[in-house]
Amino acid sequence: MKIAALGRVAVAAAIASAALAVPALAYDGTNCKEPGVCWEPKPGYPAKNEIKGSKYDPKHDPKEINKQSASIQAMEERNKKRADNFAKTGKFEYDVSKIGN
């Protein structure tokens, strides 16, 4: 009796450890590589840095994804001209083409 019971416990333990060995079955957010880095791929899906070249490759065009920073830089430059001119003259001018150097 005693031995049989122990055997059942052992089997249960084996099942439990098998489940632990495949955490990818369940990306539950709790297995962290380092603080704040806890993402895991779902079973059958590419790992990080393996999306490129996979069937889920977003194929981002570098020209497209750099458009935002270029636009922001241009707005910041125009705004600076407006603010500097406002500070200098006391009169606000939005149209930068009317602001002298």
Partner 1 sequence: MINLRTSVSAFTLAATAAVGLAATTLPAFANDKLVELSKSDANWPMTGKNYSAQNYSPAKQITTENVKQLKPAWAFSTGVLHGHEGTPLVIGDKMFVHTPFPNTTFALDLNEPGKIDWQHKPKQAPTARAVACCDVVNRGLAYWPGTGSGDALILKTQLDGHIVALNAETGAEVWKMENSDIKVGSTLTIAPYVVKDVVLVGSSGAELGVRGYVTAYDVKTGAQKWRAYATGPDEDIKLAKDFNGKNPHYGQFGLGTNKTWEGDAWKIGGGTNWGWYAFDPDTNLFYYGSGNPAPWNETMRPGDNKWTMTIWGRDIDTGEAKFGYQKTPHDEWDYAGVNVMMLSEQKDKQGKLRKLLTHPDRNGIVYTLDREDGTLISADKLDDTVNWVKQVDLKTGIPVRDPEFATRMDHKATEICPSAMGYHNQGHDSYDPEKQLFFMGINHICMDWEPFMLPYRAGQFFVGATLWMYPGPKGDRQGFEGLGQIKAYNAISGKYAWEKMERFAVWGGTLATAGDLVFYGTLDGFIKARNSKTGELLWKYRLPSGVIGHPMTYTHDGNQYVAIYYGVGGWAGVGLVFDLTDPTAGLGAVGAFKNLQKYTQMGGGVQVFSLNGKNPYDDVNVGEWVGKGG
Residues near partner 1 (CB under 8 A) are 25-30, 32, 34-39, 41-42, 45-49, 51-52, 56, 58-62, 64-69, 71-72, 75-76, 78-80, 82-84, 86-87, 92, 94
CB of 35 to partner 1, least distance (A): 5
The residue among 67, 70, 76 whose CA lies nearest residue 96 is: 76
- CA 89 → CA 44, 92, 97, 100, distances in Å? 64, 8, 16, 11
CB of 55 to partner 1, least distance (A): 9
